[in-house]
Amino acid sequence: MTQKWLSIIGIGEDGLQGLSAIARSLVEQAEVIMGGDRHLAMLRANDSRLQIAWKSPFSHSVEEIIQRRGQHVCILASGDPLCYGVGDTLTQRIPISEMTIIPAPSTFSLACARLGWSLSAVETLSLCGRPASVLQSYIYPGARLLILSAGKDTPQLVAEILTKRGFGDSEMTVLERMGGVQERIIVSKAAAGMETQIAALNAIAVHCIADAAITPLSRLPGLPDDAYNHDGQLTKREVRAMTLSTLAPTPGELLWDVGAGCGSISIEWMRTHPRCRAIAIEQNTTRLHYIADNAAALGVPNLQIIAGQAPTALKNLPTPNAIFIGGGVTAHELFDICWSALPIGGRIVANVVTIEGEQTLFKWYEKVGGNFTRIAIQKAEPIGKFLGWRALAPVTQWIVVKK
């Protein structure tokens, strides 16, 4: 039977006295105590055991924990260690059979208890160590958001993002030091801003209310074309929606967006679920800036952007679950490199609008099979005093799944 040498104890603002008997026992038996400065300050002043505060970058502390395997190590963490906490990181490196985790109520649970919200009916996210623009993809009319704050300045930053998006009437609640004697709740409209004297330890609740003239952005594929900055190299809305449907993103999967243009395919892939990942590969310098700006504006700032030309830029990238080729299909050896990188069950989707592109796709089809679809879109546009149909350039789409 594996010996449990590591304990992770969730602790609230009420400190050690708020712990259960089992949690207190694990803290008392530990040879080494690790945690943030705030947590270590909760220990007795005459506690002579080795106390180690978190290091930056955090990965150094993780390595130190692993090196102490066999000692009785106790980690003090805020609330629920597995809710955007240290527990999630450590369970990826240390078997759960070697540790004991005792959670305290999470910040989200405490906030729901204060507000009367159901945790199952809210969106939760963390801005700790993450770009604030992550918030963008969570904003929609009626949304109830619970946000782990990065510090005292985060509430004002959230208020500014909401106001610029046309959600200035949103109701914001800042909850400071929940569960302690200094607990405080501050309520304001986003457009009114937040007071500056806010505790560093805070969480933010938002009830999103849109201005009257705002058209919300759906999380479903097919955002309006004008949601993007671009120079014309943009997969049009209708084709984009069909392409994402064919790519079929699943949480946790990785997409290569080859010849990304302004990044619309990889951005909407990531918007379908917070755990979807994507790499956008583009050689044009101006378009690289478009991709970064669009990713931040649409709430996926963690989109990885690779500057370079395919297929050279594809070497040594993480294994993809799906590959979209929106440009450059005629590049020498592009297919061979993509096909070799793809695991069994992975899929390639390629869109072309030229005869030469179709010829290349047909050669690929002769090698590995797949299916072709012709996408033809017509839009009604004014012709004098009347409306007439104007056709967009037809798109030939090829999809293949690696058997």
The domain limits of the chain are: 6-104, 108-207, 225-401
**What dihedral do alpha carbons 319, 321, 322, 327 form, nearest 10°?**
-10
Q: What local confidence, expressed as pLDDT, does residue 324 receive?
A: 98
Q: pLDDT tens digits for the chain (403 residues)?
A: 568 999 999 999 989 999 999 999 999 999 999 999 999 999 999 999 999 999 989 999 999 999 999 999 999 999 999 999 999 999 999 999 999 999 999 999 999 999 999 999 999 999 998 999 999 999 999 999 999 999 999 999 999 999 999 999 999 999 999 998 899 999 999 999 887 789 999 999 999 999 998 889 999 999 999 999 999 889 999 999 999 999 999 999 999 999 999 999 999 999 999 999 999 999 999 999 999 999 999 999 999 999 999 999 999 999 999 999 998 899 999 999 999 999 999 999 999 999 999 999 999 999 999 999 999 999 999 999 999 999 999 999 999 999 9
Q: Which CATH superfamily is domain 225-401 in?
A: Vaccinia Virus protein VP39 (3.40.50.150)
Q: What is the CATH number of domain 6-104?
A: 3.40.1010.10
The Cα 295–Cα 287 span in angstroms is: 12
CATH match of 108-207 with 1.10.760.10:
no
**pTM score, two decimals?**
0.90
Alpha-carbon separation of residue 39 from 42, 44, 74, 133, 294 (angstroms): 5, 11, 12, 29, 39
Q: What local confidence, expressed as pLDDT, does residue 194 receive?
A: 85
Whether the Cβ atoms of residue 340 and residue 347 lie closer than 8 Å to each other: no
Which residue carries 């909401």 as its tokens? 162
**Which residues have C-beta within 8 Å of that of residue 28, sequence separation ≥ 6?**
none
**Closest by Cα among 201, 206, 111 to 152:** 201
Q: What local confidence, expressed as pLDDT, does residue 213 receive?
A: 85
Q: What local confidence, expressed as pLDDT, does residue 142 receive?
A: 96
Q: What local confidence, expressed as pLDDT, does residue 196 receive?
A: 77
Q: What local confidence, expressed as pLDDT, does residue 1 receive?
A: 55
